[in-house]
Structure 1
Amino acid sequence: MDSAESSSPVRSNGDGEMNIFVQSEYHGNFVLEVENSNTIEDVFITVLPIWRLKAIPEPKLYFNGQRLEREKSLADYGIDDGSILHLECTDWTFRVANMREWPNKILGRKEIIITDRPLAIWEREHDKVLLGLLVEKIRSGGRKILDFENDSWRDVVTKFNEATGLKYEDKYLHERFSFYKYEYRIVNNMRHHPEFSWDHQRQVIIATDAEWNEYIKENPTAKRYRRRAVPYFDLLEIVFAEKEE
């Protein structure tokens, strides 16, 4: 899950209206104009269509690591102007025609507006910066950086924020690291599969449709990499390959 710092002020006008941010890996990133009386359910029905609201696994929203209950308000959780919520919602693709509609509009409270305000989201360049810092630490001081409970990791967090101009907390960069580990294992397994090959120029797995279909039957998590490039895989290898030997 892509994550960010959760309480950087954006604006304060004192009338109950504010901007909050919702970030998700599969369903986009949103800037919402809300009031503190709006509920978590209001946020869900603003950013997700009916087919996904009703799908399994159910979507979840988090703020500062806490899962949010749908019936509670933003004020109940201290969500204020500039707060960032993290939407955990898998790319569930089965749909039928009558489920493509959006939920009914919010009644009795201010309708949430999706604004066009620019949102700082996780970009591929951020991966390059974070992995580059991890590789630098590993090469200079060994793999103890991967323990996350030392000054080396905190130094990486500081340098990452300085390099990107962002304000990511330790735990969210740690979550990104966990995603790297997950991604490395999936892609590395495919790279060593006898029916697959690796395009070094495009940084993608190459296989026939029949080979992909057969592999995905046994390894459904590989589906997203059928056409997905992993341009920083050489850095992932430095971070993880030696650890797994």
Structure 2
Amino acid sequence: MQWTYEMDQCLSKVLAEQDKLGNKSKSDNKLRPAAYAVAVSALNKRFQLDLTKDHIRNRLKTWKKQYEILKGLLHHGDFEWDKTQTMVRANGSAWNRYIKRNPDARSFRGRIIRN
């Protein structure tokens, strides 16, 4: 299954609402089972899918990995955030050097990042 931007937006909105409702543990910052259930139900209903709690967990792991990659890029001196284009910018040689050491960053080269 391929996640879409719209699915990510829906999941993000539902999880933010669940956090506000207290369905996230304060001690370990983990979602409570009720939050997963609401997220699964909302996504399945809106997009006519058959997702499970594991799909949500895996998507959250992907988000965390992407966040760490972006954080690494933006803490590197050769890279900057382009607010207008909503993407990470650097010259070609900087990208080549960075990707050689950090292959997972390749997907962010020239990629527009929405929210």
Matches within 5 A, 1:153-164: 153-164=36-47
Give the distance between the partners of 1:127 and 1:195, measured in 2 at CA.
29
1:224 is matched with 107
1:130 corresponds in structure 2 to 11
Q: Which has the higher contact order (CA 8 A, sep 6+)?
A: 1
**Quick one: percent identity of the two aligned structures?**
27
Shift of 1:142: 6.4
* 2: CA distance, partners of 1:150 / 1:192: 35
Verify the 8 A CA contact 1:133 1:160 in the aligned structure 2: no
Q: 2:68 matched to which residue of 1?
A: 185
Select the structure that is richer in helix: 2
Distance in 1, matches of 2:81 and 2:58, equals 27
Partner in structure 2 of residue 72 of structure 1: none
Q: Which segments of 5 or more consecutive residues in structure 1 lack a partner in the other structure?
A: 4-120, 233-245
More strand by share: 1
1:208 corresponds to 2:88: no
Per-residue deviation, 1:138: 2.3
Q: Which residue identity is paired with 2:56? A: L
| Shift of residue 171, structure 1, vs aligned partner | 0.9
Displacement of 1:123 = 1.7
- In the alignment of these two chains, the number of paired residues is 113
Whole-angstrom CA distance in 2 between matches of 1:142 and 1:198 = 33
Q: Kindly state the Cα deviation for residue 197 of structure 1 after the two structures are TM-superposed.
A: 0.7
Question: Whose radius of gyration is greater, 1 or 2?
Answer: 1
Distance in 1 separating the partners of 2:61 and 2:78:
28
Task: Name 1:22's counterpart in structure 2.
Answer: none
Q: Which runs of 5+ in 2 are unaligned?
A: none
Cα offset, 1:149, TM superposition: 4.7
2:23–2:34 contact (8 Å) kept in structure 1: no
